[in-house]
Amino acid sequence: MSFSDILGQDRQVAILKRAIENNRVPHAYLFLGEEGVGRKLTALTLAKALNCSNETADSCDLCGSCRRITNGNHPDVTIVEPEGNFIKIDQIRKLQRSLQYKPYEGGKKVCLIPHAEKMNEAAANAFLKTLEEPTPDTILILISTSPHLLLATVNSRCQRLKFQPLPHAVIAMVVEERLKKGKETASRLAYLARGSLERAHKLAEGTTLEYRDKIIKKINSLSPNDINNTFKLAEDMSKEKDVLVDTLEFLKTWYRDLLIFKEGCPSDRLINFDFLPEIERIEGKFTVTDLVEKVRIINDTQSALQRNSNKRLTMEVMLTRLCHN
């Protein structure tokens, strides 16, 4: 994988290549953006380029160094993943010990920290010392969807690089060509993926589309006068561990579509465009304020789940609020 293989992030790639060419790569990056837009892939490609035997501003992807990074066994490239729900201080201390030594192969020591916002307070404070006193020939790449959860002092000591959602045409092309989906299905999945190739893969793999259809229909059938049905749906949703995150995202896109349709936007702007007849049927039941509030309720729910709140209770509160709003 070289920089030329990274889709939809031409500006970000150009910035990184220029930094390598000018020998002005900062000691710490913060790669921002949604999951599935190429942040980790770009970080790994940067690690390859900095250690490639060809000594260009890109990865050859063929030399021993590039292959070892691809296989995850390069001695100078470390990836720090959360252990459970958090990145812990022992992991950061282990990283700090390894960074004290010079690169084994004479290139750069590169450390990737996906989900950097999951550093607990002790780990984040310990990591700050590494940022404040960087060792020579070391590049730190933090990757985060929620930079506001990082310490402000960590944020301020990294060069931020924002990755954009991938264009619909790019995702549709990948789904059609690599996942062997028909053109119409690929386009539908690309809309639902909302700029994330990872989300498009998940949607294409199983019964996620069917689940989305079922959830939208159940949400539209809820009534404040039928609390038993509301609580039953909350129980079912809380048990869907693997798709709960997607479920909440589906609901946000649903209310988002109702909102923009109500505001007169053309139907080709809809994410759930295949539900256009249903959107036309029910949008008159809501005011703009209603729909904005519903999106806010779902955002509140997502924040509560990130704090490890009780899933069933959180779903009950959310659905009850959605019904009465």
51 and 70 in a common domain: yes
pLDDT in tens, 240-278: 766 687 788 889 999 999 999 998 887 778 888 888 899
pLDDT in tens, 9-47: 999 999 999 999 999 999 999 999 999 999 999 999 999
pLDDT in tens, 207-231: 667 778 888 888 888 888 889 999 9
Asked whether the beta carbons of 197 and 166 are under 8 A apart, the reply is yes
Q: What's the whole-number mean pLDDT along residues 139-158? A: 94
pLDDT attached to residue 77: 96
Q: What's the whole-number mean pLDDT along residues 154-176? A: 94
The mean pLDDT of the chain is: 90
Amino acid identity at 258: L
57 and 149 in a common domain: yes
Containing structural domain, residue 263:
206-324
115 and 155 in a common domain: yes
pLDDT attached to residue 241: 67
262 and 129 in a common domain: no
Asked whether the beta carbons of 291 and 260 are under 8 A apart, the reply is no
CA dihedral of 299, 305, 310, 315, whole degrees rounded to 10: 30
pLDDT attached to residue 80: 97
- The domain boundary, picked from 162, 192, 222, lies at 162
Residue 144's CB is within 10 A of a number of other CB atoms, namely 24
The proportion of the chain whose per-residue pLDDT surpasses 70, expressed as a percent, equals 98
Asked whether the beta carbons of 254 and 217 are under 8 A apart, the reply is no
238 and 309 in a common domain: yes
Paired with 86 in beta bridges are 83
Long-range contacts of 145-148 (CB under 8 A, 24+ apart): 145/32, 145/33, 145/34, 145/35, 145/115, 145/117, 146/117, 146/306, 147/30, 147/32, 147/117
pLDDT in tens, 187-207: 888 888 888 998 888 888 766
123: domain CATH number is 3.40.50.300
Q: Produce one character per residue of 266-286: b if its CB has 16 or more CB atoms within 10 Å, e if not.
A: eeeebbbeebeebbeeebeeb
290 and 194 in a common domain: no
What is the β-pairing status of strands 159-162 and 28-32?
Answer: parallel
Judged against a pLDDT cut of 70, whether residue 121 lies above it is answered with: yes
245 and 110 in a common domain: no
pLDDT attached to residue 213: 82
pLDDT in tens, 130-146: 999 888 899 999 999 99
111 and 53 in a common domain: yes
pLDDT attached to residue 15: 97
pLDDT attached to residue 207: 63
Helix, strand, coil percent content, the chain, rounded in steps of 5: 60, 10, 30
Residue with tokens 């690690």: 47
Residue with tokens 């201080």: 89
The proportion of the chain whose per-residue pLDDT surpasses 90, expressed as a percent, equals 63
115 and 38 in a common domain: yes
Closest to 96 in 3D by CA, of 74, 111, 81, 115: 111
pLDDT attached to residue 224: 86
d(CA 30, CA 101): 23
Can you list the positions of beta strands (E) in 95-210?
Answer: 109-113, 138-144, 159-162
Contacts of 110 (CB under 8 A, 6+ apart): 46, 47, 50, 51, 76, 77, 78, 138, 139, 140, 141
Task: Work out how many domains the chain is built from and give that number.
Answer: 3
Among 68-77, 91-100, 199-208, where is mean pLDDT lowest?
A: 199-208
Among 91-95, 173-177, 213-217, 240-244, where is mean pLDDT lowest?
A: 240-244
- The domain boundary, picked from 104, 134, 162, lies at 162
212 and 293 in a common domain: yes
- The domain boundary, picked from 145, 180, 205, lies at 205
Among 87-91, 169-173, 306-310, where is mean pLDDT lowest?
A: 306-310
pLDDT attached to residue 1: 80
Q: What's the whole-number mean pLDDT along residues 151-158? A: 94
pLDDT attached to residue 45: 97
pLDDT attached to residue 125: 95
286: domain CATH number is 1.20.272
269 and 221 in a common domain: yes
Residue 39's CB is within 10 A of a number of other CB atoms, namely 26
48 and 29 in a common domain: yes
Closest to 317 in 3D by CA, of 301, 296, 294: 301
